[in-house]
Structure 1
């Protein structure tokens, strides 16, 4: 699923990843560098499956586990109204 930032959300990069803030709800999240990389790719229109495949190959880990982590991240960010489907 491609994502975009919720209209009320602002983000900023840090040396540790990315911080997202929904100005209306006050919900904010900090994601680590890997989470920031995943979010950047989802915002750019990449699929979760492609991202999972690339990360799994890079770190020599199971794609299924990475895909589950991407799904959890996406679900949490959607639930906090920090992002929305593009």
Structure 2
């Protein structure tokens, strides 16, 4: 199974086989940025689908982490206010 690397420019994502150095340099010259992820997949279509799934999962995890931290902070604040009001 070939290993694919990914290049991104704006919202456009392209996958190339890792061994395609000429294609990688062409994309870099056109302003594409090489992404950190490299995946093994049977074909380009499946590699791109998996890459998009990974990115969506990262966004979901980040969103969950941030909203969880905000909720916990608000909860601590509410508990502190309630404690101050009723323990006077």
- TM over 0.5, shorter chain: no
Larger radius of gyration: 2
TM-score by length of 1: 0.31
Instruction: Give the structure, 1 or 2, with the largest relative contact order (CA under 8 Å, sep 6 or more).
Output: 1
TM-score by length of 2: 0.31
Structure holding more helix per residue: 2
